[in-house]
Structure 1
Amino acid sequence: MQNNPHENSHEKMLDLLFRQARSQNGWLPQPVEDAQLLRIYELMKMGPTSANCSPLRIVFLRTSEARQRLQPALNPGNLEKAMSAPVVAVLGYDTRFYDLLPQLFPHNPVMREMFAGKPELAETTAFRNSSLQGAYFMLAARSLGLDCGPMSGFDADRLNQEFFPDGLVKVNFLCNLGYGDVAKLFPRSPRLAFDQVCQLL
């Protein structure tokens, strides 16, 4: 029986995105080009968000000088992996995302008013949907052959003051980008079984 080439390519993509993908702790000295960052964005922006609100805002730190600005906000355990990454993406969420809803959700012109003047609802919506977009971001990067190293472990207030001083955007998480150094990986941690997580009702 012959192998189905479409099935083989499908399985390879699943390996690339999930089964063989790892959170990288170290990086090879291979640059990430601006064109690659643009391609990541052009892919990730197509993922769905509620009312197409698209609250994710990204600051790409591409130079050593830019990455040094992170240092005061990082936990010590994250310093080396961030400083050695070719690019660190600061993934934030716009708490005033609703101001762009007339552009993003034009078929419902009153959608903006659902969030205006309701800061708790706006914050919850922005955080949830920027987290969703952050996952799309990682999948887009992996699909293009890049490795990811998502990180928490930072002082959010200091990071916001450094990169989002207007107070409208707030950091969600960081994601290192580049080509991972497999020598710095540790064995993959266990995952929970289906029956531990899921219910069939």
Structure 2
Amino acid sequence: MLDDKTLDRLFRGARTHNGWLDKPVSDDQLKAIYDLMKWGPTSANSSPARIVFVRTKEGKEKLKPALSAGNTEKTMTAPVTAIVAYDTQFYEHLPELFPHDQTAKYWFSGEGKEAVSAATAFRNGSLQGAYLMIAARALGFDVGAMSGFDNAKVDEAFFPDGRFKTNFLCNIGYGDHTKLFNRSPRLSFEQACALA
């Protein structure tokens, strides 16, 4: 079992950050985040998440028109903004990712498989986005995930061929703790869970 300090870092004390210290995140650090998060489980090891780490001025300006007013400043000042997307044709990689069953690609591809393929891509890409956040926290970074943006504009700017679809954005860096809101409550076990 992990110690309380680690659990606090990953969950209990972790916060959604809105302000950032002027401290860079290197490309090697982003690779380390990915190299940790990629081990999280997905259906048939499908690994549909595709991530663009936006960290240059040019990249941020390209992203800016898609941001809602309330998310613009915190995103433009974050050292990195991860565009967490998913590959609608993730199944093309299954012969490599799920080699012990070479029929796996056809579970999700072909006529009549569109709904299960879309649901699998979105669900598992979302899981991988959560793994990304936990991996970043585990490596000493703060994160701020958000959905206040225009998906279509992000897709047009960063994924014009239409294969990848944006799920959510996540700022990554070193959070300015003086800009945090008061901690919001969470539902109790009794409110959110049932035993069957």
TM tier, smaller: over 0.9
Alignment of 1:84 with 2:44, yes or no, is no
Q: 2:40 is aligned with what amino acid?
A: G
1:102 to 58, 81, 95: 95
Residue matched to 2:41: 48
Partner amino acid, structure 2, of 1:50: S
Identify which of 165, 168, 176 aligns with 1:173: 168
What SS does the aligned partner of 2:4 have?
A: helix
Which consecutive residues of structure 1, in runs of 5 or more, have no partner in the other structure? 1-6
Residue in 2 that maps onto 1:3: none
1:155 counterpart letter in structure 2: D
Report the CA distance between 1:65 and its aligned residue. Answer: 1.5
Determine which of 24, 29, 53 is the counterpart of 1:31. 24
Deviation of 1:13 after TM superposition, in Å, equals 0.5
CA shift at 1:50, angstroms? 0.4
Q: Residue in 1 aligned with 2:119? A: 124
Give the greater-gyration-radius structure (CA). Answer: 1
Cα distance in structure 1, aligned partners of 2:8 and 2:43: 29
**What is the TM-score normalised by the length of structure 2?**
0.97
Residue 39 of structure 1: how far off its partner (Å): 0.6
- Tell whether 2:180 aligns with 1:185: yes
Instruction: Let me know the Cα RMSD of the aligned residues.
Output: 0.9
What is the number of residues matched between the two proteins? 194
How much does 1:46 deviate? 0.3
Q: Which runs of 4+ in 1 moved over 4 A?
A: none
Determine the C-alpha separation between the residues in 1 that align with 2:136 and 2:24. 14
Distance in 1, matches of 2:189 and 2:50, equals 34
Give structure 2 stretches of 5+ with no counterpart: none
Equivalent residue in structure 1 for 2:147, among 131, 143, 152: 152
Q: Secondary structure at the match of 1:200?
A: coil
Q: Deviations over 1:103-133 (max 9, x none)?
A: 0000000010111122221111000000000
Counterparts of 2:40 and 2:167, CA distance in 1: 18
